[in-house]
Chains A and B, each alone.
Chain A
Amino acid sequence: MNEKTSEKQEEKTPKKEAAAGPRFLVSSSPHLHDGQSIAGIMKLVIVALLPASLFSIYIFGLHALRVIVIAVASALIFEALSQRIMRRPVRIKDYSAALTGLLLALNLPATSPWWLIIVGSFFAIVVAKQIYGGLGYNPFNPALVGRVVLLISFPVQMTARWVSPSRWGMDAVTTATPLGRISECLLSQGRIDLNLTQQEWFDLLLGNRAGCLGEVSVVLLLAGGIFLIAKRVISWHTPVVFIGTVWILTGVFHLVDPSRYADPSFHVVTGGLFIGAFFMATDYVTSPITGKGMLIFGAGCGLITVVIRLFGAYPEGVSFAILLMNAVTPLIDRYVKPKVFGAEKRKAAA
């Protein structure tokens, strides 16, 4: 009898302990994570853009800094405000709005008035991103939507007031971008006059020329792009094919008629091609998810860019090209799927 009671007590004690014991977390596997986060990825992209951003300040002076500060600050404010109004968690700490603001700034001329920047920022964050549901749901690249809205609505402020690099003063001579120059030349004289000296090529590469803040230094943008590829934030597919397509297509036209069509290398290093190819066309949300899809996407961007540059009303076509391909992205993803392991045999068997 005595033994039985003690046994019963023994049986009860562990159960009590279990009830009062430690509480464990229960969730589906896997129970490990590599630690990467949205904020981490966005920060890496911002770091990759830093050299080009700092260089724009060096080239265009404090006006460049002014554009960057207004764009980033307004993007953050619009993001927080719209998330608050739409009753979503405020997530400005994920750096995605900061990155959009920075990309927008790098796509604006240094002479942009403050209100222009804020309008661009509004369209980028509120219209292109938050109204669609926020990060992950926007079909079009927000920064590019902001830029293109400004380009169409305020062409004077966006394209007619370029300044050539002048360090810290803003009273520099008004000039045209390299692409704008050959485009005007073609219109007025029926031919282009492009005999660049070595020094001029060098300036184009380094960024000593007129243009938006972030598009001028091809070398630094390339360095940032390579950094992102090395860090596996982006893959090589889109930028390489995008730039390659532009080079090949403009090369073909140049071979056919060099008096009307500029050197392909000139086309590659001018305009927004590098910032577009490495930093805008690779935007996760708005570009295809598979490598093969990215190849199609990159080629499409390149083709449209060339068509607009050579035959369109605008001297530059990178922004329009990427936005148009953004629209095709869901279609690409629908038809270009990854290859399922062993699937070819399943088909054969069925």
Chain B
Amino acid sequence: MARKGFFGGVHPIYNKELASDLAIEVMPLPEKLVVHFTQNLGAPPEPVVEKGSEVKKGQLIAKATGFVSAPVHAPTSGVIKSIDLYPHPVGTDMPAAVIIPDGKDEWLEGCDMERDTGDLEPEAIKQMIHEGGLVGMGGASFPTHVKLSPPEDKPIDLLVLNGAECEPYLTADHRLMLEHAEGILEGADLFARVLGVQRVIVAIEKNKPDAIEAMRGAVRERKGFSVEPLDVVYPQGAEKQLIFTLSRRRVPAGGLPMDVGVLVQNIGTAFAAYEAVRFARPLLQRIVTVTGSAIGQPKNVLARVGATFEDIVRFCGGIKGDTGKVISGGPMMGVAQYSLDTSVTKGTSGIVLLARDEIPQFVNDACIRCGRCVTVCPMGLNPSALSIFIERMQFDDAGEYNVNDCIECGCCAYVCPSKRPLVQHFRRAKAELRNKQRKAG
């Protein structure tokens, strides 16, 4: 039985058929890779290589700094040509290493060898996941080992594997479930062992019946695992909404899933854990859905971390027509890129290229208080009132109206007939409130 359940949400045109039937294609090694050091939420890792260093595939190039941080490894063997600021998908320039591949794609010793995971201690698994540089691959890029380390007073009894993929256009998770169901579940099993969890739910939106089928076939052998089809409504895959749909538990406002005994991991992250623990392969590549009306040939690309958007777009037949926007991630929450010099990070789930005439231009008309935003906000906020406060720079009032609970899913702006840039307002208010708090504290 399918479940919906959370309040609000929207039904954008998904356009997933552009890429959903296309098998994952391995992208050949490009001529250069621009590997960002900051690929996780939290503390930015520190580079341990210099210009001119020779690196092997899988070799550490930036080490984690502190607990909430994930190391970065060389995605192939080659030479570090430079270390400088390069465009990062988040929209600013950040330090990165340019690696010129030597073409041999040669692994570092100790990497890429199969090992028996059966008798690994939970701590050892967690260590391997940390050392493999794993971060959440659904987009937020939160270091995985941190999520796997809940405090003792917050026991986890449910692990959710998020295969909802509710963002329009994206099909990376869909393809991964079709082609690597076993690996995903092995990874999930590793997570479950670390947490001591008996119950694992694989959550998939109903618009991917073949993926549901594939995962159902694969979970049959595993005790405690089940597949739950979900109603197709955006943002079904948002953590809090997903948990509510599956378990009726409400993550408290300002809280984390572990407050209600749940851990959510993207299915791509589970697969990366399988690769890291079973085969000693750090996170060096990911599936990127390259799609939209303005790409020559949509593809699900297995790309190295550091591959530039330009090289990927070229691999997919180049730009077609008058491209208005290049989005890193999905069109509801992704970041518009100003150039193709940006490169893939561990969190880049897709590159969506939209034609100019498809793109809504936000004009910031007056709010007519139609209330459409209120009826779609899955967090139960009042975007209308919030945006009016923020326009008048009344950030404290916005805080009192719970702007910090906004998950930036974009439902409000998607339906706003005045085409107000609501999410942008809310990001701004959050930043202003953060700065204020920092100054006060």
Residues of A within 8 A of B (CB): 14, 18, 21-22, 24-34, 36-38, 40-41, 133-137, 235, 284-285, 289-290, 333, 337-346, 348-349
Within the assembled complex, what's the spacing in Å between the Cα atoms of A235 and B372? 10
The answer, among B12, B240, B365, for a CB contact under 8 Å with A341, is: B240
B248 to chain A, nearest CB (A): 12
Residues of B384-437 contacting chain A, CB below 8 A: 384-385, 401-402, 405, 408, 410, 413-419, 421, 423-424, 427
Take A38-B365, A349-B252 as given contacts and tell me if A29 and B333 are in contact as well, using a CB distance cutoff of 8 Å: yes
The answer, among B255, B338, B413, for a CB contact under 8 Å with A26, is: B338
A and B contact pairs by CB, cutoff 8 A, 7 listed: A18-B339, A24-B323, A29-B333, A32-B331, A32-B332, A33-B419, A284-B368
B389 to chain A, nearest CB (A): 12
B98 to chain A, nearest CB (A): 10
- 9 extra A-B contacts, CB within 8 A, seeds A342-B255, A342-B405: A18-B341, A26-B325, A28-B424, A135-B366, A136-B365, A290-B382, A340-B380, A341-B379, A345-B255
Complex: chain B residue closest to A337, CB-CB: B382
* Complex contacts, A337 vs chain B, CB 8 Å: 382, 401
* Complex contacts, B250 vs chain A, CB 8 Å: 341-342, 344-345
| Range for the number of chain B residues in contact with chain A | 35 or more
A294 to chain B, nearest CB (A): 9
Complex: chain A residue closest to B356, CB-CB: A25
Residues of B within 8 A of A (CB): 6-7, 10, 12-13, 91, 168, 240, 244, 250-255, 259, 310, 319, 323-327, 331-341, 352, 354, 356, 359-360, 362, 365-372, 374-375, 377-382, 384-385, 401-402, 405, 408, 410, 413-419, 421, 423-424, 427
The answer, among A24, A134, A135, A338, for a CB contact under 8 Å with B337, is: A24
Complex: chain B residue closest to A345, CB-CB: B252
B391 to chain A, nearest CB (A): 11
Take A36-B415, A38-B417, A337-B382 as given contacts and tell me if A28 and B427 are in contact as well, using a CB distance cutoff of 8 Å: yes
Q: Check B414–A30 contact: CB distance below 8 A.
A: yes
Q: How would you classify the secondary structure of chain B's contact residues: helix, strand, loop or mixed?
A: loop
Within the assembled complex, what's the spacing in Å between the Cα atoms of A31 and B417? 15
Q: Check B380–A136 contact: CB distance below 8 A.
A: no
The answer, among B168, B326, B374, for a CB contact under 8 Å with A24, is: B326
* Complex contacts, B339 vs chain A, CB 8 Å: 18, 21, 24
Within the assembled complex, what's the spacing in Å between the Cα atoms of A24 and B367? 28
Q: Check A285–B369 contact: CB distance below 8 A.
A: yes
Interface centre among A18, A33, A341 (most CB of B within 10 A): A341
Within the assembled complex, what's the spacing in Å between the Cα atoms of A135 and B252? 38
Take A41-B370, A136-B369 as given contacts and tell me if A30 and B333 are in contact as well, using a CB distance cutoff of 8 Å: yes
Within the assembled complex, what's the spacing in Å between the Cα atoms of A3 and B414? 52
Within the assembled complex, what's the spacing in Å between the Cα atoms of A22 and B415? 29
* Complex contacts, B421 vs chain A, CB 8 Å: 27-28
* Complex contacts, A133 vs chain B, CB 8 Å: 366
Q: Check A29–B367 contact: CB distance below 8 A.
A: no
* Complex contacts, A338 vs chain B, CB 8 Å: 374, 377, 380-382
Complex: chain A residue closest to B339, CB-CB: A18
Q: Check B360–A32 contact: CB distance below 8 A.
A: yes
A174 to chain B, nearest CB (A): 41
The answer, among B326, B327, B384, B408, for a CB contact under 8 Å with A289, is: B384
Within the assembled complex, what's the spacing in Å between the Cα atoms of A340 and B8? 12
Within the assembled complex, what's the spacing in Å between the Cα atoms of A33 and B410? 10
Take A22-B319, A24-B336 as given contacts and tell me if A341 and B253 are in contact as well, using a CB distance cutoff of 8 Å: yes
A175 to chain B, nearest CB (A): 39
* Complex contacts, A342 vs chain B, CB 8 Å: 240, 250-255, 405
B279 to chain A, nearest CB (A): 34
Complex: chain A residue closest to B370, CB-CB: A284
Q: Check B340–A21 contact: CB distance below 8 A.
A: yes
Q: Check A333–B385 contact: CB distance below 8 A.
A: yes
Complex: chain A residue closest to B336, CB-CB: A26
Q: Check B326–A34 contact: CB distance below 8 A.
A: no
Q: Check A341–B335 contact: CB distance below 8 A.
A: no
Take A31-B334, A34-B415 as given contacts and tell me if A346 and B323 are in contact as well, using a CB distance cutoff of 8 Å: no
Within the assembled complex, what's the spacing in Å between the Cα atoms of A135 and B378? 27
Take A136-B366, A284-B368, A285-B368 as given contacts and tell me if A37 and B417 are in contact as well, using a CB distance cutoff of 8 Å: yes
Within the assembled complex, what's the spacing in Å between the Cα atoms of A17 and B332? 29
Q: Check A18–B340 contact: CB distance below 8 A.
A: yes
Q: Check A340–B331 contact: CB distance below 8 A.
A: no
